[in-house]
Structure 1
Amino acid sequence: MLISKRWQIFTAAPHRVMFFGGALQAVAAMVWLLAELGSRHVLSWQAVAWKIAPGVAHPWLMIYGLFPMFMFGFLMTTYPRWMKGREIAPRQYVPAFALLMLGLVGFYAGLLFSHAVLIISVICTLSGWGVAQNALLRVLIDTPRQDKRHPQIIFIALCLGWCGLLAYLAWLWGGDASWLRLSVQGGLWLFLLPVFSSIAHRMIPFFTASALKQQPIASPEWAWWVMLAASAGHGMLEVNGASVWLWLCDFPLAFVALFLANRWGFRRSLQVPLLAVLHLGFAWLGIAMLLFALQSFASLLSHGNTMIWGLAPLHALTIGCFATLLIGMATRVTLGHAGMPMKVGRSVYVLFVGLQLAALLRVLADMLFIAVSPWLHFVAGIVWLACFVTWAVRYLTVYWRPRSDGQPG
């Protein structure tokens, strides 16, 4: 009886199950990566013979394993509120959660034991993703006519993410590297960045005005469309191997991101930690795109013969921007939908700062001397792991406890 009650509480809202799975994946993915870094570059352990190269497993674990769990938890919670629709029922999100988790567990098992298991795990993930998308689509279709541009664009980006996952399956099946390139670059620029930038454009000004008790903050739509167009342009250039021209998209995206960060009140946001983490995450977008732009322009000047910062711009984007926004939004939703005050304790505040340190260390690892890079990679991974373990310890138990205010959900 107790187990049945706990399960009812755990599955009472989509963010409970999805954030639970996402938090476990944030820890598991970094444990796997640290084991790999340690075995090959730092601690001289016996290297594991994975069924696919770690360099192509890592993008899947992050792009298609980690971020979608949190995204679906957030969107299944906010879509009905954005559009005044019905709450998404457990019969829609619980199967999606189960399939996504099965895909994650299967992927790790496949890395160790079998290429065929990898293929099956990706098919499970595609299935769970499709079930989750269908639930969001029903909200879009069934709600009254209104301004649905943000949820519509986010839904399109999720569909493109599903296609990127399908491209990964095609690579696993046939070994054609062009499918892998499409999967990774499409996942970053046609899926992740459009989703994060759209959620930020809609929610950060709202949260800022509410937290700082000021008039509504203008969030110009032209800036949002520039971000979407520039992201899509960057992705298409990457897929076609035209990296020397990325600066044509990246300079405008960097300018718009930094313009919005200032427009939304970056400095004032630092007064409120739960708000500051969202502003810090978005500010990383401007920094990352500026690094991308400068690297691309330098490559153009040298006729494609230099990558001055390697993967530094990419990790400024993925850790600095995406992971920071993820943990900021997940914390807000967890607190708000558990009936808890919108405040964080010292440990969570240190966690927010620690994630910035992880991003900085990972960026520096590609900018500094090759001799110290493996150690900085390893330390950055340890800091990431410490941050997400701290977050998991603090909030995972919330997901199988009733709301503190007695409300449903």
Structure 2
Amino acid sequence: MGIPRLRAYAGPAFLSYGFRPFFFLGSLYAGLSILLWLPIYAGEFNAHSAFVPVDWHVHEMLFGYLPAIVTGFLLTAIPNWTGRLPVQGLPLLALVVLWLAGRIAVFFSADIGWEAAAVIDGSFLLAVATAAAREIVSGRNWRNLKVLLPLAVLACANSAFHIEAHLQGTSDVSRRLGMAAAIMLISLIGGRIIPSFTRNWLVRKNPGRLPVPFDRFDIASLAISAIALGAWTFAPGNSVSGMLMAVAAICQAWRLSRWAGERTLRDPLVLILHLAYAFVPIGLALVSASIFFPDAVPAAAGLHALGTGAVGSMTLAVMTRATLGHTGRELKAGKGTSFIFVVLLLAGSLRILAAFVPSDAVIDMAGAAWMAAFAGFLLIHGTALTTPKAR
């Protein structure tokens, strides 16, 4: 399934497809934001943000980095889904500038005012959701409209984050709502691409058991996860929320087991998708455990399993595969690519560990591993993102 034929385009390759600028700048920002966060966390540097330091960190991961990667994915996938031409050139540049403006506005929100920062920052996700909806509706690709729901929730959570942080002094409900939207995006998109890519590889390389096709169990798992995440968002300490999160964790783990991931050990590009998705049930289970056993399981463990683990690993896996596939490279993970997968999985694991063993050294190691992964992605795949497609 290839990207539709392009209209006449003579501009820079960097603006020929949405994945190019957003994967490049998103991965660059993923590393730079943590490079800034570590000294901010240590009290050695102050941002000019109206957010308290931890809110700036949470916001820029959930509403800065993640939307860039989701936008790159959607602007590349939607033309495949609909058969319509991709967004490119000046319209794509406008979206890139809007995203960059949001990052600058949030960082300097104490100087320009929280209202101005909220409007500038919030306009990006609104523009992306509008563009995606227009393309899907125009292409009459109704079945993919469901992807817009968690995207719309993410946009609402972003606006709520600014308001809540201003009124309450810090975010609470809105950060959980943003995380819930992120996990539902991963559940929807991951549930589509992981079994598909796994099936394609197994048929060619390792005949035998194949992933179970999408069925009612997947629908039930998504519904239960959405309900559980919604309950946790608005009642994070309630035992009912804890039970729902536990059930959701079991369903997501069972769902993952149906995709034959254990048969993909010889292909890191496929295996990483399964390992990244595993952080979803792990995170849900840790959140549930933190509700019932708060003295033994810190709430931060589940949050970082879902954030650093699931969001970080899944986005890097998708970026790598999409970059190789859409720039004419071989769909094969070399030693460098395998390395960045390993260090990002390590970053997620270390960040979970840091919740149980509070240690600046462990947090620093997790941050270093995260930065190494995204720096490695740029070093290995940056040229592919900025130059014409290989023949």
Q: How high is the TM-score relative to the length of structure 1? A: 0.86
What residue in structure 2 maps to residue 143 of structure 1? 139
Match of 1:303 in 2: none
Give the conservation status (yes or no) of the 8 Å contact 1:165–1:183.
yes
Q: What is the alpha-carbon distance in structure 1 between the residues aligned to residue 173 and residue 106 of structure 2?
A: 20
CA displacement at 1:115 relative to structure 2: 4.4
Verify the 8 A CA contact 1:93 1:131 in the aligned structure 2. no
CA distance in 1, matches of 2:332, 2:360: 37
Query: Deviation per CA, 1:24-57, whole angstroms, max 9, x where unpaired?
Result: 21012111111223x33xxxx4767864311111
Structure 1 unaligned runs (5+)? 300-305
Question: In structure 2, what is the Cα distance between the partners aligned to 1:391 and 1:397?
Answer: 10
Task: Give distance in 1, aligned partners of 2:336 and 2:10.
Answer: 27
- Once the two structures are superposed, the pairs formed by residues 150-229 of structure 1 within 5 Å of their partners are 151-171=144-164, 174-176=166-168, 180-189=171-180, 191-213=181-203, 214=207, 217-229=212-224
Change beyond 3 A, Cα 1:29–1:286 = same
Cα separation, 1, equivalents of 2:49 and 2:84: 45
1:96: how far off? 1.4
Aligned Cα root-mean-square deviation (Å): 2.3
Q: Contact 1:269–1:276 (CA<8 Å) still a contact in 2? A: yes
Name 1:291's counterpart in structure 2.
Answer: 286
| One-letter amino acid of the structure 2 residue matched with residue 162 of structure 1 | A
> Quick one: structure 1 residues 374 and 225, their matched pair in 2 at CA, closer, same or farther if it must change by over 3 Å?
same
Which of 230-239 and 310-319 deviates more? Answer: 230-239
Secondary structure of 1:340's counterpart equals coil
Alpha carbons 2:253, 2:278 under 8 Å: kept: yes
Structure 2 counterparts to residues 25-64 of structure 1, below 5 A: 25-37=29-41, 39-40=42-43, 45=44, 51-64=50-63
Match for residue 19 of structure 1 among 16, 23, 26: 23
Greater CA drift, 326-335 or 114-123: 114-123
Q: Are 1:65 and 2:64 an aligned pair? A: yes
Deviation at 1:182, TM superposition (A): 3.0
Q: Which moved more, 1:26-35 or 1:228-237?
A: 228-237
2:228 corresponds to 1:233: yes
Indicate the SS of the match to 1:253.
helix
CA 1:228 to 1:377, structure 2 compared with 1: closer, same or farther past 3 Å?
Answer: farther
Q: Deviations over 1:189-248 (max 9, x none)?
A: 1x2111111001111000001112255642334324423442343333332454433222
Q: Secondary structure at the match of 2:293?
A: helix
Give a deviation string over 1:55-92, Cα, whole Å, max 9, x none: 11111110000001000100111112123334334444
8 Å Cα contact 2:287-2:299 kept in structure 1: no
What is aligned with 1:302? Answer: none
Distance of 2:116 and 2:23 partners within structure 1: 24
What secondary structure is seen at the aligned counterpart in 1 of 2:108? helix
**Structure 1 residue 268: deviation in Å?**
1.0
So what's the TM-score if we normalise by structure 2? Answer: 0.89
Mapped partners of 1:403, 1:73: distance in 2: 16
Gaps of at least 5 residues in structure 2 are 1-8
**Alpha-carbon shift at residue 262 of structure 1 (Å):** 1.3
State the shift of 1:360 in Å: 1.1
Alpha-carbon contact 2:286-2:297 (below 8 Å) kept = no
Indicate if the aligned counterparts of 1:358 and 1:381 stay in contact, CA closer than 8 A.
Answer: yes
Q: Which amino acid aligns with 2:125?
A: W
What SS does the corresponding residue of 1:356 show, helix, strand or coil? helix
Deviation at residue 93 of structure 1 after TM alignment: 2.8
2:364 aligned partner, one-letter code: F
**Count of matched residue positions in the alignment of Structure 1 and Structure 2:** 378
SS in structure 2 of the partner of residue 311 of structure 1: helix
User: CA 1:312–1:242 in structure 2 vs 1: closer, same or farther (change >3 Å)?
Assistant: closer
Alignment pair present for 1:401 and 2:387:
yes
Whole-angstrom CA distance in 2 between matches of 1:21 and 1:243? 39
Deviations 1:321-350 (A, max 9, x none): 111110000001101110000012111101
| AA in 1 matched with 2:163 | A
